[in-house]
Structure 1
Amino acid sequence: MTQQSQARYTWGGDEFLFIEIAEGMSLEANFISNSIANALEAKALDGVIDICPANASLLIRFNPDTLPPAELEQVARSLEAEVRASTRQVLETRIVEIPVWYNDPYTNETGARFRAGYHQRPEGNDLDYAAEVNNLADAAEFIKRHHESPWLVSMVGFVAGLPFLYQLVDREHQLEVPKYLSPRTDTPALTIGHGGCFSCIYSVRGAGGYQMFGVAAAPIFDPGQELADFADFMVFFKPGDIVKFKPVDEAEYKRIQAEVEAGTFTYRQAPVSFDLAAALADPEGYKATLLEALNGI
Structure 2
Amino acid sequence: MKTRYTYGGDEHIYVEMDDEMSLDAFFKSLSMSNAVRDAKIKGVTEICPANASFQVRFDPDVIHPDEMMKKVKELEHRAEDAEKRLKTRIIEIPVYYQDPWTHETLMRFRERHQDPSGTDLDYAARINGFDSVEAFIEAHHSQPWFVSMVGFVAGLPFLYQLVEREKQLQVPKYLRPRTDTPKLTVGYGGCFSCIYSVRGAGGYQMFGVTPMPIFDPEQKQSYLSDFMVFFKPGDIVKWKPIDRAEYDRILAEVEADTYVPRIAEVDFDLDAFNADMPGTNAKLMEALNVA
Output the TM-score relative to the length of structure 2: 0.93
1:1-297, aligned counterparts within 5 Å? 5-67=1-63, 69=65, 72-73=68-69, 75-86=71-82, 89-115=84-110, 117-297=111-291
Give 3-state SS (helix, strand or coil) of 1:209's partner.
coil
Checking the alignment, whether the CA contact within 8 Å between 1:99 and 1:247 is kept in structure 2 is: yes
String of CA shifts for 1:95-152, please: whole Å, max 9, x gaps: 111111111111111111111x212222331111111111111111111110111111
Aligned-pair distance for 1:40?
3.3
Q: How many residues align?
A: 291
- Structure 2 distance, partners of 1:118, 1:93, is 39
Q: Once structures 1 and 2 are overlaid, which stretch shifts more, 63-72 or 226-235?
A: 63-72
String of CA shifts for 1:25-79, please: whole Å, max 9, x gaps: 1111111112222343345544321111112210011224445656654554454
Aligned-pair distance for 1:82?
2.5
Percent of aligned positions that are identical: 59
- Structure 2 distance, partners of 1:283, 1:90, is 15
- Structure 1 distance, partners of 2:197, 2:138, is 23
Aligned-pair distance for 1:198?
0.9
Give 3-state SS (helix, strand or coil) of 1:245's partner.
strand
Aligned-pair distance for 1:270?
2.0
- Structure 2 distance, partners of 1:267, 1:76, is 38
Checking the alignment, whether the CA contact within 8 Å between 2:31 and 2:78 is kept in structure 1 is: no
- Structure 1 distance, partners of 2:66, 2:228, is 33
Checking the alignment, whether the CA contact within 8 Å between 2:35 and 2:78 is kept in structure 1 is: no
Q: Which amino acid aligns with 2:90?
A: I
Q: Which amino acid aligns with 1:93?
A: T
Gaps of 5+ in 2: none
Q: Which amino acid aligns with 2:104?
A: E
Q: Which amino acid aligns with 2:132?
A: D
String of CA shifts for 1:164-198, please: whole Å, max 9, x gaps: 11101001110111211221111111001011111
Aligned-pair distance for 1:246?
0.8
Q: Once structures 1 and 2 are overlaid, which stretch shifts more, 175-184 or 209-218?
A: 175-184
Q: Which amino acid aligns with 1:105?
A: P
Output the TM-score relative to the length of structure 1: 0.91
Q: Once structures 1 and 2 are overlaid, which stretch shifts more, 105-114 or 45-54?
A: 45-54
- Structure 1 distance, partners of 2:119, 2:196, is 18
Gaps of 5+ in 1: none
Q: Aligned in 2, Cα 1:176/1:18: closer, same or farther, shift over 3 Å?
A: same
RMSD: 1.9
Give 3-state SS (helix, strand or coil) of 1:182's partner.
coil
- Structure 2 distance, partners of 1:255, 1:187, is 23
Aligned-pair distance for 1:11?
2.2
